[in-house]
Structure 1
Amino acid sequence: MSGSEVKIDPLSRVEQGAVLGAGVEIGPFCTVGADVVLGAGVKLVSHVAIGGHTTIGEGAAVYPFASLGFAPQSLGYKGEPSRLVIGRNCTIREHVTMNGGTAGGHMETVVGDNGFFMVNSHVAHDCIVGDNAIFANNATLAGHVTVGSNVFLGGMAAIHQFVRIGDNAIVGGLCGLQHDLIPFGAMIYGRSGLGGLNIIGMKRRGFTRPQIHALRAAYRELFYSGGTLGERAARVAADFGDDANVMHIVNFIRNGAKRRLTVPADAADHVAEPEAA
């Protein structure tokens, strides 16, 4: 244990070996394991349980009954010393759960900076979550999911294992996402497929009108023109090769995955196979 001006409520237990940065505050009825590292200014409000090989970045706030870093919910887990790494300035609200990795994945679950994880949200084993993520109440990731930066998951959204969600995407409340969601994509209603682009999110993050118009034009070409998905992606790359935002979508499609690609319900190929690109 280290760090100046650390405050630990006498009703909490911090095991020998835990590393506490300067200004850490641990409220009552918390438990902190021996292999836990808390960055400067981390605040555990009360009744927080942190175990395993868990690192939490500076400035994070963790609320009552959150459970972080304990054994993953995987039948294949055999006790290997996997890790959970949480970035800086995250807000982790009541009853949030996050697990470490497994040998069947990459032995590590990673959450980026500035995340806001609302009540009962869950990050499963071997997931990678980017910066500025917002998970509304009960949003849930299965194992091995990759979530980009600036992604919003609505309340009770459920994400299938191995799915990829691109940067700046949104998944609406009560949606069940079974397949990959492109960067800037919006899935709004249940399992109805891709519902367009996350225009509101782009406007909030300062995207210009020409940038949004280019993304809309590329979206129409990708999902509503003729040919295979691979052929359409090639046309978009030729037409928008100097547009970094559009190429971010094209590269996401081309890079392949274990899951199919979510496309609009009224597109010709309702769910595109990854190998088609």
Structure 2
Amino acid sequence: MQRPGMWFALPAAALLVLFFAYPLAVSLLQSFFRTSGGVSTFVGFDQYARMLRDPLVLKSLGNALLILVVQVPIMMALAVGLAYLLNQAWLRFRAGFRLLTFLPAITTLVAYSVVFRVIMTTDGGLLNQFLALLGAGPIDWLNNEWWARVAVIASITWRWTGYNMVIILAGLQSIPPELYEAARIDGAGRWQIFRHIVVPQLRPVLIFTSVTSTIGALQLFDENFILTGGGPNNATLTPVLYLYKIGFQQFDFGYASAIAWMLVILTGIIAAIQFRIMREKP
């Protein structure tokens, strides 16, 4: 790199080191220390061994994996279906429908979580009022373990489906029209075109959206923090919410750092598995 280019890149590199690399290194170092009475003591891998004995760590991981297994496939299916529908030439007002579908993605996390909390309030909530019109009894959305998970999954799906739909739609529009025409000439139907042309052509886009959605599910914090606070009975507690409570409520930053790095390693492993499963066949 020429010297003038290095000077231009220096501010960005300095910010990267200051706000990303340095905190990352400090958090890794901090995970090997335990602080008590203002004194830090090196404990090696004791913080990581402690996680194996902590039932709340296992509970939070189980909750995150449940959300990952249930919510991500539902959201991806909806995103692919909406993108395929909104890419059809016969559909009128496509631009308007695309805008409406994408609008949730630009809503702030806190704002939409508060709105969902109001909608799902047991007494007088809009959703329970609608169920009452249908003759159904009120559901305790946020205080029942099962329904609290449903509420969190529903809110995440509403927020991120449109975001993934736009990415998949861009992938659909990059598929050469000649492939569709050749398939129709060969007598292929809509399902055959979708299965043998659309899905293989979208493979790189689907890998990207599935991996980013997986990372988002494992790093879930805002929605369950505002909707349920991790309850009831830790049914919606996630690793990020748990490390927040450990670090900023109990001020045990060493253990919180260890949980964070455990989550980084787990995310990397799951992402690598997804890449291997969804990569193109030779």
TM-score band, normalised by the shorter chain? under 0.3
The structure whose RCO (Cα within 8 Å, separation 6+) is larger is 2
Q: Say which structure is richer in helix.
A: 2
Kindly name which structure, 1 or 2, has the bigger radius of gyration based on alpha carbons: 2
For normalisation by structure 2, the TM-score amounts to: 0.21
Specify which structure has the higher proportion of strand.
Answer: 1
TM-score, length basis structure 1:
0.21
